Amino acid sequence: MSDTAVKLRPAQAHILNYEGGCMGVSAVPGSGKTFTLSLLAARLVEHVLAQESLDDREVLVVTFTNSAVENFRNRIATFLNRERGLLPGVGYRVRTLHALAHDIVRERPALVGLHEGFGIVDERTSAEIIREAVQGYLRTHPETFSPFILPDYLQRARTIERYIQDDALEIANAVIRVGKDLRVEPYELQARLRRQSGTWPLIEFGIHIYADYQRSLQTRGAVDFNDLIVLALRALDADPNYLERLQERWPYVLEDEAQDSTALQEAMLRRLTARRGNWVRVGDPNQAITTTFTSANPEFLVAFTQEYSEQARDLPNSGRSAWPIIEIANHLIEWSRTRHPVLPQRLALTPPRIEPTLVGDPQPNPDAGQVPHHFFERAMTPEQEIGIVVSSLRRWLPDHPDATVAVLTLEGGRCFHITEALAAAGLPFDDSLLRTSTATRAAAQALATVLDYIAQPAAGSRLEQVWSEVWWPRRGPSLLAQRAQAAAPVLAPAAAGETIHHAVPATRKQDLPEPVKTFAAALRKLDTPESFLFPAGHDWLNQIGWLDSVDGLRAAVEAFRSDLQRWTRATVLPADELVLTLGNDLFVDPADLALAHFLAVHLAKLAAENPTYRLPDLAGELGNIATNRKRMPGFDEDAQGYEPKRGKVTVATMHAAKGLEWDRVYLISVNNYNFPSGAPDDAYRGERWFTRDRLNLIAETLAQVRQLHMGTLDDYVPGEATRQARLEVAAERLRLLYVGITRARRELIVTYNTGRRENNPSAPAAAFEALQRFCAQAR
């Protein structure tokens, strides 16, 4: 394949000179990593196919997502077809690591004790199995977490019950994951635990759930995704001839996104490459942003490049960002390595620094914006911060209709508030990178609002919410449209030309017709909501004489009351039937009706697992979904192949933004709560306010599992795992900030807020202050 067809950068050409052996490549953001690895794969395919005796050999490319698999397949096929006219799919195989493990096990299942038709449980089924096991354990062992809760909160257990259950699920998932990483069976851990002195409620709980989970998989004759890697290793170790055959089949192994590799995945690839030693690993340790909730560790790639330093390569040139933004990213690397107040060198960001492209490069760096970077150093509340960002966008968007822009933050719940503010300001936005779309969250919020009211019908403020935020937007206009007087101008929406869709909430009170807002205010002041809902001889509505002066409004209010009465009487129904009743009354859109059915099943299961849950608890569960704090399996948006939309504001988490770029980027909420430094006086999400000694119960449990795996818990030191977890969180959040910064092409704006803890407001993150000083000096 000739270099004349593809213009290569010097660093890319150096990598493409590869002929064999182990090579580690550190690639900066926007450096053309996928292009380079695809072109290398195509050249190696040519080499393999040129050897006539090796017809069944393939170049193996492994990556982490299905979308990346398709991207590599298409690129490799294009290179081979353009230069050699070769058929696509010949001479190479592209797989995710889990799919590769599945291939290995599926070819010889008997090696690991599986039958030919073994199944794989999906993530949703796996989560249901674990949740059922956790709920059952906590019902029979309600005292499990009591030794770790402050005395004041033990007296108010109801207020923290939901948080304890969330932590219990996280602990269970983490113990199962780490147990499989260690390749240790639960019965082995249980036997070792019985030999320990003292009581160990956390690890006893975790191992018990691990054992229940494995039994459930065995009953189904199935395995999960974590099992696949373990079973692949077991198959490779069980039959040396089978391993040798696979080593011959794949003479070259190219690994993408190697910064996200785990110990087990690395072990599998080491076995496959041990015979020929042709292994190329490409990644960026500075973009490893899943380490605190998976087994991924960027240190594996770093150690690999050091082990094979003679073939360590860099891809430093990037045409993504303007030079002032590159300078910020590079300064963050340098600051983390030399001036970070807490992090040790091994957890700091790593070289190479980002270098701009050379003159004549097909992807030249863009020109910087008029103000290429700005760190907004004024302390703001979360609401003020969003207001500042929205005001900035309102000024910027009209002058840049062909540009792309994103607002990125750490958590999905914050994204929900941003999209609300953008909608209120009438600014176009795109939220398809979020876990759930605006329409899905709106439907969940509508159901949560109604459930919350009918559970506590004496609250006038909740009654007003149901009217103005749920019932009127979905039922009012359609009801009026059936009447001859529906065109009365006084009831037209305030925003000219605006239509109200069933799938999208009209929660902006300023957009409601004035009479609708006036009636909402009257509901809010109502001291005895029952005088409206179930009047007994005295109807509160008769006091509002002006209703009849607005065509159609009294009829709408009467219909609202009729719906409320029916919903209130329906509270005797099971949770799923109640939600279906609400959904059928509120929704017309098929997607919303399908969502209502899904939520009905979800709440029925939740109610069965939690007999003490009442309607407010179930409404709270829907509220978590509505505010993007919980995933909606089956309703998540597919972000594969996402392209930023010009003239619209992309709202996303920094995690979801990886691999993408925008002309202008806002990074918000960069405070010492979201981006702690590792210092003990920072706040950490894994440390609950109600736990003794600020212990991170998840980290402490995993430390106990690892100690027990080595034989004894004698060396376990309470609190040490919590302190180490702080450093690991700080390091990952630093990498996440680096990812956020390198999404920006021409302009970068960074803000922080003081959080919601009035007695302990958040400060700007240490990295925020360091970069703000750097930018001030640069000016």
HEC per residue, 160-226: HHHHHHHHHHHHHHHHHHHHHHCCCCHHHHHHHHHCCCCCCHHHHHHHHHHHHHHHHHHHHCEECHH
Lowest mean pLDDT among 400-409, 432-441, 710-719: 432-441
Q: Around Cβ 519, how many Cβ atoms within 10 Å?
A: 25
pLDDT at 7 over 80: yes
Task: Look at the block and give the residue holding tokens 């699920």.
Answer: 169
Q: What is the pLDDT of residue 56?
A: 82
Residue 609 has what pLDDT? 61
CB atoms within 10 A of CB 332: 23
The closest of 242, 238, 240, 283 to 262, measured between CA atoms, is 283
CA distance 592 to 442: 9
CA dist., res. 587 & res. 384, Å (int): 34
Is there a contact between 676 and 728 (Cβ–Cβ < 8 Å)? no
What is the per-residue pLDDT across 287-331, written as a single tens digit (0 to 9) for each?
999 888 788 999 999 999 999 999 999 999 999 999 999 999 999
- Confidence band (pLDDT; 50, 70, 90) for 55? low
Question: How high is the mean pLDDT of the chain?
Answer: 87
pLDDT given at position 663 = 98
pLDDT of residue 53: 60
Checking if the pLDDT of 630 tops 60, the result is no
Main-chain phi, psi angles of 768, to 5 degrees: -60, -50
pLDDT of residue 640: 47
Report the alpha-carbon distance of residue 592 to residue 586 in Å, rounded.
9
Determine the Cα–Cα distance for residues 174 and 207; give it in Å rounded to an integer.
11
DSSP 362: S
Neighbours of 609 (CB within 10 A): 17
How remote is the C-alpha of 308 from its chain's centroid? 34
Task: For the beta carbon of residue 226, count every other beta carbon within 10 angstroms.
Answer: 20
Q: Reply yes or no on whether the pLDDT at 558 is more than 60.
A: yes
DSSP letters, 247-299, are HHH-SEEEESSGGG--HHHHHHHHHHHTTT--EEEEE-GGG---TTTSS--TH
Structure tokens at 481: 């449209």
Residue range 350-356: mean pLDDT, rounded:
97
> What distance in Å separates the CA atoms of residue 739 and residue 733, rounded to the nearest whole number?
10
pLDDT of residue 702: 97
DSSP 677: -
Angstrom CA distances, 84 to 45, 51, 103, 190, 324, stand at 11, 15, 29, 59, 42
Task: Give Cα 377 distance to the centre of its chain.
Answer: 28
pLDDT digits (tens, 9 = 90+) for 659-688: 999 999 999 999 999 999 999 888 898 899
| Contact status, residue 583 vs residue 597, Cβ threshold 8 Å | yes
Q: Highest mean pLDDT range out of 293-302, 334-343, 520-529?
A: 334-343
Q: Which segment of 9-23, 24-38, 61-75, 521-535 scores lowest on mean pLDDT?
A: 521-535
C-alpha to C-alpha distance for 659 and 63, rounded to whole angstroms:
14
Residue type, 53: S
Residue 635 predicted with pLDDT over 60: no
DSSP per-residue codes, 399-426 = G-TT--EEEEES-HHHHHHHHHHHHHTT
pLDDT of 498 strictly over 50: no
Residues 6+ positions from 238 with CB-CB distance below 8 Å: 111, 112
State the Cα–Cα distance between residues 134 and 201, nearest whole angstrom: 14
- pLDDT value at position 552? 79
- Minimum mean pLDDT range among 347-356, 434-443, 591-600, 649-658: 434-443
pLDDT at residue 641, as a whole number: 63
Please state the rounded mean pLDDT for residues 548-568. 85
What pLDDT sits at residue 87?
67
User: Residue with structure tokens 């440390």?
Assistant: 687
pLDDT of residue 639: 43
Percent of the chain topping pLDDT 90: 59
Residues 519-531, mean pLDDT to the nearest whole number: 82
> pLDDT digit string (tens) for 711-743?
999 999 999 999 999 999 999 999 999 999 999
> Helix (H, G, I), strand (E, B), or coil: what is residue 539?
coil
Strand order in the sheet with 373-375: 373-375, 744-750, 662-667, 405-409, 649-653, 429-430
The pLDDT assigned to 500 comes to 28
> Using an 8 Å Cβ cutoff, are 311 and 21 in contact?
yes
Q: Is the pLDDT of residue 593 over 60?
A: yes
Q: Regarding predicted confidence, which is higher, 581 or 724?
A: 724
DSSP element (H, E) containing 430: strand 429-430
Q: How do residues 102-143 score in pLDDT, each as one tens digit?
A: 999 999 999 999 988 888 887 778 888 999 999 999 999 999
Which pLDDT belongs to residue 504?
37
Q: Cis peptide leading into 352, omega within 30 of 0? A: yes
Q: Is the pLDDT reported for residue 460 higher than 80?
A: no
pLDDT in tens, 252-299: 999 999 999 999 999 999 999 999 999 999 999 999 998 887 889 999
SS3 content of the chain, % helix, strand, coil (to 5): 55, 10, 35
Neighbours of 192 (CB within 10 A): 18
Q: Give the pLDDT score at 648.
A: 96
CA distances from 376 to 120, 385, 541, 605 (A): 49, 10, 50, 46
For residue 658, what pLDDT is reported? Answer: 92
454/445 Cα distance (integer angstroms): 14
Residues 545 and 525: their CA atoms lie apart, in Å, by 17
Task: Give residue 637's pLDDT.
Answer: 38
Euclidean distance between the first and the last CA atom of the chain, given in angstroms as a whole number: 47
Please check the confidence at residue 422 and state whether its pLDDT lies above 70: yes
pLDDT at 542 over 90: no
Statement: residue 490 has pLDDT above 50: no
| pLDDT confidence tier of residue 51, bands split at 50, 70 and 90 | confident
Residue 211 has pLDDT above 80, yes or no: yes
